[in-house]
Amino acid sequence: MLMGIIGLPRCGKSTLFTALSGVWGEEQSHPVSRTEPRIATVTVMDDRVNLLKEIYKPKKTTLAKIQYLLAPQAPGDSGAAWDDGTWNRVRVCDGFLHVVRNFEDRGGTPADPGKDFQRLEEDMIVNDLAVAEKRMERIELDKKRGKKPEGDELRLVAACREVLDGGQPLRHTPELAEHPALRGFTFLTAKPVLIVVNNDDEDESEPGGGGWPDDLERLVVRGRLEMDIASMPPDEAEEFRVEYHIQTSVLDRVIKASYRLLDRISFFTVLSDEVRAWTVSSGTRALGAAGAVHSDMEKGFIRAETLSFEDLKSYGNFQEAKKGGAVRLEGKEYEVKDGDIINFRFNV
Ligand SMILES: Nc1nc2c(ncn2[C@@H]2O[C@H](COP(=O)(O)OP(=O)(O)OP(=O)(O)O)[C@@H](O)[C@H]2O)c(=O)[nH]1
Ligand SMILES: [Mg+2]
Split at pLDDT 50, 70, 90, the class of 278 is: very high
- Residue 258 · residue 247 · CB < 8 Å: no
Averaged pLDDT for residues 319-324: 94
- Residue 295 in this model has a pLDDT that exceeds 50: yes
Does residue 242 sit in helix, strand or coil? Answer: helix
Residue 269 CA, ligand 1 centroid: distance in Å: 41
Is residue 108 assigned to a domain?
A: no
Would you say residue 173 has pLDDT above 90?
yes
Residue 282 included in any domain: yes
The pLDDT of residue 313 is 95
| Amino acid symbol at 320 | E
- Asked if 66 and 1 touch (Cβ cutoff 8 Å), the reply is yes
**Residue 34: pLDDT band with limits 50, 70, 90:** low
Interval between CA 13 and ligand 2 midpoint (Å): 5
Domain membership of residue 17 (yes or no) is no
| Ligand 1 pocket, residue 56 CB under 6 Å | no
Whether ligand 1 lies within 6 angstroms of the CB of 88 is answered as no
Average pLDDT over residues 328-339: 97
240, part of any domain: no
- How many structural domains compose the chain? 1
Any atom of ligand 1 within 6 Å of the Cβ of 15: yes
When the pLDDT of each residue in the chain is averaged and rounded to a whole number, the result is: 90
In short, whether 10's Cβ falls inside 6 Å of ligand 1 is yes
Domain span at 286? 263-346
Q: Is 80 exceeded by the pLDDT of residue 236?
A: yes
- pLDDT tens digits for range 96-143: 999 999 999 888 889 999 999 999 999 999 999 999 999 999 988 998
> What is the predicted pLDDT for the residue at 31?
53
Phi, psi at 226, each rounded to 5°: -70, -30
Note whether residue 297 is domain-resident.
yes
3-class state of residue 220 by DSSP: strand
Q: How far is CA 301 from each of CA 221, 246, 287, 318, rounded to the nearest angstrom?
A: 44, 45, 7, 22
Q: Are 101 and 195 in contact (CB under 8 A)?
A: no
CATH (domain of 272): 3.10.20.30
331 within a domain of the structure (yes/no): yes
Prediction pTM value: 0.90
pLDDT, mean of residues 10-26: 80
Q: Can you tell me the distance from the alpha carbon of 325 to that of 229, in angstroms, rounded to the nearest whole number? A: 46
Domain annotation covers residue 305: yes
Q: Is the pLDDT of residue 186 over 60?
A: yes
**Confidence class of residue 86 from pLDDT cuts 50, 70 and 90?**
confident
Rg (CA), the chain: 23
Q: Evaluate whether residue 320 is within a structural domain.
A: yes
pLDDT of residue 214: 87
